[in-house]
Amino acid sequence: MTTSVTPATSPPVAPATTARSRWVALGVLATGMLMTILDGSIVTVAMPAIQSELGFTPVGLSWVVNAYLIAFGSLLLLSGRLGDLIGRKRMFLAGTAVFTAASLLAGFAGSPGLLIAARFLQGVGSAMAAAVSLGILVTLFTAPRERARAIAVFSFTGAAGASIGQVLGGVLTDALTWNWIFFINLPIGIATVLVALPALPADRGLGLKAGADVVGALLATSGLMAGIYAVVTIEEYGATSVRTLGLGALALALLAGFVLRQAKAANPLMPLRILRSRSVVGANLVQVLMIAAMFAFQILVALYLQKVLGYGAAETGLAMLPAAVMIGAVSLGVSARLIARFGERTVLLTGLALLIGALALLTRVPVHASYATDLLPVMLLVAGGGLALPAVTSLGMSGAREADAGLASGLFNTTQQIGMALGVAVLSTLAAARTSALTEAGRPAAEALTGGYHLAFVTGTGLLIAAFAVALTVLRTPKAPAR
């Protein structure tokens, strides 16, 4: 049962006054999300070219991704709350500007150290902008049906960005140079800022005194940073190494200290009332499991297509494009209507069931697969993401009042990043270990790789089943939060 506690004060907000201005504002927020997701997927395609030109070691190359993930994941919660305190529009504009400037620096980077530093700054900017995007959205769209449509558009943007990034990364790297995967952010970022200035509603925020908990901010940020660092380096150091276990224990201790601090602080950074919402807690847990599992689809299927079936970078992106098209058709075409009629929980369960079917099919994909018979059905079933993503987003924001919208948005984005990091660490490690075992047993390379991916797909299916169980038992149709 959802519990809501009305805060003593709410931030003054100047809402958009017309339907047209609200949808223009949504376009700005979706473009910001597209830029963030696009950057994440486009970089992975260009990694070999970056390594060759800048002289990265194999271990050093991983930090082109890790530096971004650590900054992004660890600063989302803090950025979301700061948006509530100083103004969500101000935070979005500042974050987009930082990300755009860091993209320019990354494009001109001539050494590994400079590129890693630029990627860290990109993560900082992305965290600032992404953390408040959903918070702005839910304050703009308050009517249930209209909000469901807006969240469907926002969710589709993320799925589209991942697929477009894979295609665009291959094209830009092949036709031009790897530098252009960063330069492409410049016109998008500048246009986003220029349109956002008049389009996004002005809000003054609660003021820093309403949540100026410096100790809490340090505990939360350092705890998340240590935890994400431990997860993204599992493949390098091993899950049971002293380094990994020590960092994991440190992260848990810091985050436990953060929670205790929030329970006692006069002006907490994260008021614990937000965790009293069953929908918020359940939706965030479902999201961690679902996003971790879907890494098996987004990344490992791409690796399977390239390493086992011999597809090129652009060909791989095109092969996975039907999944993005299906997610878009479902999320934009029917998800809002289904949510309005049957409720978020029912739609989420349906979407998860389709995703379970998709990953279950992948557990049997052969070494010499036919795209039409072995992979296309998977791409079609991934349409379940077009139901699950908008529904879980609606549930994750359902318990947030106006004063906490940025915090709820930051929390939701943080659990998304945790899910991605866990998916990368756990599923990649399992696939690599299984592949090594099969190779040592004398299996051919393609067969060993496929066997490794099978184990990852089985694990991903199990994670989705766990997400289904949580949604079935924990989530309920949310009540409107008190205003």
Name every residue whose Cβ is closer than 8 Å to that of residue 110 and which is 6 or more positions away in sequence: 54
Task: Indicate whether this model's pTM tops 0.85.
Answer: no
Q: What pLDDT is stored for residue 58 in this prediction?
A: 64
What is the arithmetic mean of pLDDT over 381-387?
89
Query: Which of 18-22, 45-49, 95-99, 152-156 has the highest average model confidence (pLDDT)?
Result: 95-99
φ and ψ of 203, to 5 deg: -145, 135
Query: Which of 6-15, 123-132, 170-179 has the highest average model confidence (pLDDT)?
Result: 123-132
Query: Which of 68-72, 131-135, 282-286, 402-406 has the highest average model confidence (pLDDT)?
Result: 282-286
Name every residue whose Cβ is closer than 8 Å to that of residue 189 and which is 6 or more positions away in sequence: 35, 96, 97, 99, 100, 103
pLDDT in tens, 239-268: 788 888 898 899 899 989 988 888 887 777
What is the arithmetic mean of pLDDT over 84-92?
86
Residue 174 CB: number of other CB atoms within 10 A? 14
Return d(Cα 170, Cα 261) in angstroms, integer: 47
What is the arithmetic mean of pLDDT over 101-129?
91
Residue 15: band (very low, low, confident or very high) from pLDDT cuts 50, 70, 90: very low
301 versus 476: which is more confidently predicted? 301
pLDDT at 111 over 70: yes
Return d(Cα 264, Cα 272) in angstroms, integer: 10
What is the arithmetic mean of pLDDT over 6-34?
65
Residue 10: band (very low, low, confident or very high) from pLDDT cuts 50, 70, 90: very low
216 versus 27: which is more confidently predicted? 27
Residue 153: band (very low, low, confident or very high) from pLDDT cuts 50, 70, 90: confident
What is the arithmetic mean of pLDDT over 114-129?
91
Q: What pLDDT is stored for residue 355 in this prediction?
A: 95
The closest of 87, 75, 80 to 206, measured between CA atoms, is: 87
Write down the mean pLDDT value for the chain. Answer: 81
Q: Which token pair is 15?
A: 């809402």
pLDDT at 326 over 90: no
pLDDT at 301 over 80: yes
Residue 377: band (very low, low, confident or very high) from pLDDT cuts 50, 70, 90: very high
**Amino acid identity of 19?**
A
Return d(Cα 158, Cα 273) in angstroms, integer: 29
What is the arithmetic mean of pLDDT over 369-380?
91
pLDDT at 5 over 70: no
**Which residues does residue 13 pair with via DSSP β-bridges, in sequence order?**
203
What is the arithmetic mean of pLDDT over 465-473?
94
Q: Which token pair is 420?
A: 């991605």
Of the candidate ranges 173-182, 203-212, 315-324, 380-389, the one whose mean pLDDT is the lowest: 203-212
Q: What pLDDT is stored for residue 328 in this prediction?
A: 79
3-state secondary structure labels for all residues of 145-202? HHHHHHHHHHHHHHHHHHHHHHHHHHHHHHHCCCCHHHHCHHHHHHHHHHHHHHHCCC
Which DSSP state fits 271? -
> What crossing angle do the helices spanning 112-140 and 19-54 adopt, rounded to 10°?
170
Percent of the chain exceeding pLDDT 70 equals 85
Return d(Cα 175, Cα 417) in angstroms, integer: 31
pLDDT at 9 over 50: no
Which DSSP state fits 204? -
The closest of 281, 275, 308 to 452, measured between CA atoms, is: 308
Residue 13: band (very low, low, confident or very high) from pLDDT cuts 50, 70, 90: very low
153 versus 461: which is more confidently predicted? 461
The closest of 407, 411, 431 to 419, measured between CA atoms, is: 411
pLDDT in tens, 391-424: 898 888 776 666 666 677 778 878 887 888 788 7
pLDDT in tens, 429-463: 888 889 989 999 989 989 999 999 999 999 999 99
Percent of the chain exceeding pLDDT 90 equals 24
What is the arithmetic mean of pLDDT over 351-379?
93
